[in-house]
């Protein structure tokens, strides 16, 4: 297919519309038996007209499998430690450090040092745990944790119910820890019952949290010796009263 040489020049030149030649239709043009009418055509999604292009698209999506994964390995660097005060985790690849930093030191509550996966959850936490005005008001306003939903609730129980019913979230969603009462019963010594470990996945806490493979309701107690190379920070306060004993693990 040969294109006129001036075409590329036209493309490179500025915008413009051709001055249209005069239009002058004769009614005999559309007279029977002739039936041509100039009209734009539309095709709906499933039309067969799209078959070839769709197949090309899906071949592309699938193409990743067909190619030998030849991506260069993560570039390794001499081992270095995380610079955040109190954290002595060591890395030898920058990607790993980036992920660690954002996960553990990214959205951290400055009051209680808990880390959260997103700014949204951190905001909800601060409001619910550390906002003294919030505590004074007799009407609590726990916000729904699903982004985009603006519902608010008087109790964390109500919020949980909403998230389970409306948003189909799991009842044991780890980032919806109900507000603890400040009774002496909530001890924070290592080896505490799993009830605490349930909702504190992102907390910088003294134990690696793991899901219990047992059915919900059964509590497991995890006792592990933390390897010396791992440090989780200065230990989190459990409530926002700072008279609880801080546990230093480093």
> Is residue 210 involved in binding other proteins (CB under 8 A)?
yes
Question: Which of 130, 140, 152, 174 is close enough to bind other proteins by CB under 8 A?
Answer: 174
Nearest CA-CA partner of 194 in 223, 227, 157: 223
Task: Kindly state the helix (H) or strand (E) to which residue 22 belongs, with its residue range.
Answer: none
Contacts to other proteins from residues 1-30, by CB under 8 A: 1-4, 6-8, 10-13, 15-26, 28-29
Region 102-121 residues binding other proteins, contact defined as CB under 8 A: 102-104, 106-107, 115, 117-121
What is the total count of residues that contact other proteins (CB under 8 A)? 112
Helices (H), 113-155: 119-129, 132-136
In the list 84, 126, 127, 209, the residue contacting other proteins (rule: CB under 8 A) is 209
Q: Decide if 159 contacts 142 (C-beta within 8 A).
A: yes
Residues 212-241 that bind other proteins (CB under 8 A): 212-214, 222, 224-225, 227, 229-230, 232
Contacts of 18 (CB under 8 A, 6+ apart): none
Q: Where in 50-79 is the site for other proteins (CB under 8 A)?
A: 50-73
Residue span binding other proteins (CB under 8 A) among the ranges 124-132, 160-168, 179-187, 236-244: 160-168
β 107-108/142-143 pair status: unpaired
Cα 126 from Cα 64, distance rounded (Å): 43
Range 106-114 contact pairs with CB under 8 angstroms and sequence separation of 24 or more: 108/204, 111/237, 111/240, 112/236, 112/237, 112/238, 112/240, 113/204, 113/233, 113/234, 113/235, 113/236, 113/237, 114/200, 114/202, 114/203, 114/204, 114/236
Residue number with CB closer to other proteins (26 or 139): 26
Contact window for other proteins (CB under 8 A) among 38-46, 130-138, 154-162, 239-247: 38-46
How far apart (Å, rounded) are the C-alpha atoms in residues 171 and 54? 40
Residue whose CB is less far from other proteins, 66 or 189: 66
What mask, x for binding other proteins by CB under 8 A, covers residues 114 to 153? -x-xxxxx------------------------xxxx----
To other proteins, the closest distance from the beta carbon of 178 in angstroms equals 17
Burial class (CB in 10 A: 0-12, 13-18, 19+), 126: middle
The reply on whether position 100 binds other proteins by CB under 8 A is yes
Contact call for residue 211 and other proteins (CB under 8 A): yes
- Contact between 96 and other proteins by CB under 8 A: the answer reads yes
| Choice between 54 and 182, CB closer to other proteins | 54
Structure-derived torsion over alpha carbons of residues 222, 226, 232, 234, reported in degrees to the nearest 10: 90
Please tell me whether residue 95 binds other proteins under the rule CB under 8 A.
yes
């Amino acid at each position: 297919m040969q294109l006129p040489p001036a075409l590329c020049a036209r493309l490179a030149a500025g915008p413009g519309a051709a001055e249209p030649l005069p239009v002058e239709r004769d009614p005999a043009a559309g007279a029977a038996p002739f039936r041509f009418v100039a009209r734009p055509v539309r095709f709906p999604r499933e039309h067969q007209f799209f078959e070839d292009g769709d197949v090309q698209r899906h071949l592309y999506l699938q193409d990743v499998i067909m190619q030998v994964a030849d991506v260069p390995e993560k570039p390794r660097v001499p081992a270095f430690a995380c610079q955040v005060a109190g954290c002595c985790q060591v890395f030898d690849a920058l990607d790993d450090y980036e992920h660690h930093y954002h996960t553990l030191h990214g959205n951290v509550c400055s009051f209680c040092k808990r880390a959260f996966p997103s700014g949204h959850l951190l905001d909800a936490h601060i409001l619910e745990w550390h906002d003294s005005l919030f505590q004074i008001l007799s009407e609590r306003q726990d916000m729904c944790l699903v982004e985009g939903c603006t519902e608010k609730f008087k109790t964390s129980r109500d919020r949980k119910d909403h998230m389970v019913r409306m948003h189909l979230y799991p009842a044991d969603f780890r980032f919806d820890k109900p507000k603890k009462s400040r009774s002496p019963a909530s001890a924070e010594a290592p080896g505490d019952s799993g009830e605490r470990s349930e909702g504190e996945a992102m907390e910088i806490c003294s134990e690696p949290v793991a899901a219990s493979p047992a059915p919900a309701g059964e509590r497991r107690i995890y006792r592990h010796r933390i390897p010396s190379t791992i440090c989780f920070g200065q230990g989190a306060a459990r409530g926002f009263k700072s008279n609880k004993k801080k546990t230093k693990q480093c």
